[in-house]
Amino acid sequence: MTKKILRVLAGETLQTPPIWMMRQAGRYLPEYRATRAQAGDFLSLCYNPDLAAEVTLQPIRRYGFDAAILFADILLVPQALGADLWFVTGEGPRLSTITDAQGVASLKPADAVHETLAPIYETVRILSRELPSDTALIGFAGAPWTVATYMIAGRGTPDQGPAHAFKRADRAAFSALVDRITEATIEYLSAQIDAGAEVVKLFDSWAGSLTGRDFDDFAIAPVARIIAALKSRHPDIPVIAFPREAKDRYKGFAQATGADCVALDNSVDAGWAASHVQVHGPVQGNLDPRHMVGGGQALIDETRTIVEAFRGGPHIFNLGHGITPDADPENVALMIETVRAG
Ligand X SMILES: Cc1c2[nH]c(c1CCC(=O)O)Cc1[nH]c(c(CCC(=O)O)c1C)Cc1[nH]c(c(CCC(=O)O)c1C)Cc1[nH]c(c(C)c1CCC(=O)O)C2
By CB atoms closer than 10 A (0-12, 13-18, 19+), residue 293 is: middle
Of residues 282, 290, 280, the one with CA closest to residue 263: 282
User: In angstroms, rounded to a whole number, what is the distance separating the alpha carbons of residues 247 and 194?
Assistant: 34
Residue from 17, 93, 162, 222 in contact with ligand X (CB under 6 A) = 93
* Residue 54 C-beta: closest distance to ligand X, Å: 13
Residue 232, annotated as binding a ligand:
no
- The answer to whether 171 and 64 are in contact (CB under 8 A) is no
Residue 224, annotated as binding a ligand:
no
- CB closest to ligand X, residue no: 205
Residues 55-74 that bind ligand X (CB under 6 A): 69, 71-74
Size of the site for ligand X (CB under 6 A): 22
Residue 207 is a binding residue for ligand X (CB under 6 A): no
In the bound state with ligand X, the residue whose beta carbon lies nearer, of 141 and 309, is 141
For 221, which DSSP code? H
Of residues 300, 312, 322, the one with CA closest to residue 274: 312
Residue 136, annotated as binding a ligand:
no
In the bound state with ligand X, the residue whose beta carbon lies nearer, of 109 and 325, is 325
Per-residue binder mask for ligand X (CB under 6 A), 311-330, x = binder: -----------x--------
Any idea how long the chain is?
342
Active-site entry in 28, 32, 36, 188 = 36
User: In angstroms, rounded to a whole number, what is the distance separating the alpha carbons of residues 287 and 338?
Assistant: 12
Residue 27, annotated as binding a ligand:
yes
Active-site entry in 7, 27, 62, 94 = 27
Active site annotation includes 236: no
* Residue 339 C-beta: closest distance to ligand X, Å: 18
For the chain, helix (H) and strand (E) counts, in that order, are: 17, 9
Report the relative pairing of strands 67-69 and 283-287 from DSSP bridges: unpaired
In the bound state with ligand X, the residue whose beta carbon lies nearer, of 151 and 270, is 151
User: In angstroms, rounded to a whole number, what is the distance separating the alpha carbons of residues 241 and 75?
Assistant: 17
- The answer to whether 122 and 182 are in contact (CB under 8 A) is no
Residue-by-residue DSSP string for 121-141: HHHHHHHHHHS-TT-EEEEEE
User: In angstroms, rounded to a whole number, what is the distance separating the alpha carbons of residues 339 and 342?
Assistant: 5
Active-site entry in 66, 73, 204, 288 = 73
Residue 272 is a binding residue for ligand X (CB under 6 A): no
End-to-end CA distance of the chain: 21
Residue 73, annotated as binding a ligand:
yes
Residues 14-43 that bind ligand X (CB under 6 A): 22-27, 36, 42
* Residue 305 C-beta: closest distance to ligand X, Å: 23
Active-site entry in 23, 225, 244, 249 = 23
Residue 181 is a binding residue for ligand X (CB under 6 A): no
In the bound state with ligand X, the residue whose beta carbon lies nearer, of 203 and 215, is 203
Active site annotation includes 36: yes
Cα torsion 326, 327, 330, 331 to 10°: value is 150
Residue 205, annotated as binding a ligand:
yes
Mapped onto helix, strand or coil, the DSSP state of residue 241 is: strand
Cis peptide before 286 (omega within 30 of 0): yes
In the bound state with ligand X, the residue whose beta carbon lies nearer, of 41 and 111, is 41
Residues 114-153 that bind ligand X (CB under 6 A): 140, 142
Residue 230 is a binding residue for ligand X (CB under 6 A): no
Known binding site: residues? Answer: 23-27, 73, 150, 205, 321
Using CB under 6 A as the criterion, which residues of the chain lie in contact with ligand X when the complex forms?
A: 22-27, 36, 42, 69, 71-75, 92-93, 140, 142, 156, 203, 205, 322
Known binding site for substrate: residues? Answer: 23-27, 73, 150, 205, 321
Report, as residue numbers or ranges, the catalytic residues: 23, 27, 36, 73, 150
